[in-house]
Structure formats: structure tokens, C-alpha cells
Amino acid sequence: MKLTNNTILITGGTSGIGLALAERLDEADNQIIILGRNQTKLTQVQQRHPKFATYQADVSRPETLAALPSWLKTHYPKLNIVINSAGTMRAFSLFDESVSVNALVSDIQTNLIGTIAVDKLLINQLRTQPEALIVNISSGLANLGVATHPSYSASKAGVHMFTDALHEQLQSIGATQVHVMELVPPMVAETNLESVSSTTAPGNMKLPDLITAALKGMNQDKKRVNPGLSKGMRLAGKIAPDPAEHRLATTMIPQYFPNGLI
């Protein structure tokens, strides 16, 4: 997949991995469209990058995406790359009575339901292009669940499974011009998903290095990119998931819940 002269929609593109990808891809003469839920942040990004187009919607609420396909067909009919980068990550104690069910499933609404909704709404438009690409961003925690983030881990495992299903359905109908890639980041503290994360933490990957790995994978039509520690997490998830998840739990529960889960 060539990474020049494309029309690219990036969800969650006002910060973190989404914005970093947008800025790097902008250097290669691509038309960038940023989708986000916060209009103030969209305006700030557009002020810094006047060539970017923006669209306000909240992927965790699929009804806000209803007009997106027709808007794209009207204004950006050559859309051929979609990157699902919108994401949230929250630590929860399942025993905390102040945590509502809505809060508990919020990561699933954004990370999984949002990804499914965007892909479903745009897949047929992408099929009309000579060559197209969908990038769904999961996590190393799709391969090893972590006790501190039960909903996040579940959501990213779902993204992994959904991305595989999408790839196989496209293959089944012969739509091989639509590439599908799962990007599986390890911890990247610069995304600021959590204040607990530190750029000096063991296993942390620098954001520019992740972007370089992602673009290389996109260019080479990789089905899955496991950069940094994610490669080891995928292997551990295959050969010894139970002890690996237990080690993660014993390390991270005291870090996130120093006063205990109860």
C-alpha cells in the first residue's frame, strides 16, 4: 500500500497515536480527515494544521456517525484509508460500589463498538477504491488480559477478533484490494491515556518509534504489527497465558490500587 496521495480518515486524531499518525502521513501529501468528539480540540488541531479536515462525532455513540458516510462521499469521495485510533483506558476495581455499569463498559463502547461502527459504515465505500486500507488499533493487552483494566482488555481482545473476521470476509468476497491491519501497541506513555504511565517505565515504547513501525507495516500490507513488547506479549498469550496474566496482576494491582481493591 503506497502511503502518498491518499485520503485518510483517522478517528481519535486530536491526540496520541491518532494525531502522531496524522502528522507523519501529512508529510507524504495525503489528505487528512480528523474525527473527534471534542470540537474545541478539533479546532485547535486544525489551527495547527490548516490542511486537515475535521468531523465531529463520538464513536462510542454510533448514532452520531449516521451522516458520516454521505458526508465523505460528497466531500471526500476518494477516501481509501481508515485508521481507528479513538480509545480510552480506565482502571477499575470491580468491588467499588461507586463505579457504575455505564462507567465500567465505557472503554468497550469507545474501543470496540466505535471501531466496529466506523468499519461497518465505511467498508462499502472503501471497496469502490482501487486500493484501500483499514487499520484497527488494539493493544498488547488484547493478548494478555490485565486485572486492573478488565473492560479495556476485553475491548481490545474484541478489536483483535473483529479485525480478523473483517479480513477473512474481505478475502472471501475477493476484495483483496482492501487491506486490513491490526496495530498492537505496547505501553506508549506519551499517549497520555493514563496519568499512572511513565515514559521511564520498563517496556514503554516511544511514540515516534511506534509510528515508524505502524507506517512500515501499512506500506508492506502486514496483517498485524506487534511492535516492542507486544511481540513478547502475543507469544506469552499463546504458550503460557495464565501465569503471565497472574504476574501482570500481582505487579499492577498494587500500582493502581495502593490501598487495595476493597
pLDDT tens by residue, 40-88: 999 999 999 999 999 999 999 999 999 999 999 999 999 999 999 999 9
For residues 106 and 151, the answer to whether their CB atoms sit within 8 Å is yes
The predicted pLDDT at position 189 comes to 79
Sign of the alpha-carbon torsion through 245, 251, 252, 257: positive
Q: Amino acid letter at 170?
A: L
Backbone angles phi and psi of 66, in degrees to 5: -55, -40
Q: What is the mean pLDDT of residues 191-202?
A: 59
Tell me what the mean pLDDT of segment 212-228 comes to.
97
- Residue 122, pLDDT score: 98
Is the per-residue pLDDT at 190 higher than 80?
no
Beta-sheet strand order (sheet of 132-137): 53-56, 31-36, 7-11, 79-84, 132-137, 178-183, 224-225
pLDDT on residue 54? 98
Catalytic residues: 152
The x, y and z cell numbers of residue 37, run together, are 468528539
pLDDT of residue 197: 54
Q: Which residues contact 12 (CB under 8 A, 6 or more apart)?
A: 18, 35, 36, 59, 84, 85, 86, 87
Identify the band that residue 202 occupies on the pLDDT scale cut at 50, 70 and 90: low
Tell me the per-residue pLDDT of 235-260, one tens digit each, with 9 for 90 and over: 999 999 999 999 999 999 999 999 99
pLDDT tens digits, residue range 167-189?
999 999 999 999 999 999 998 87
Read off the pLDDT band of 204 (50, 70, 90): confident
d(CA 130, CA 176) in angstroms, rounded, equals 10
Give the global pTM: 0.94
pLDDT at 195: 55
Mention the CATH class of domain 7-256.
Answer: alpha beta
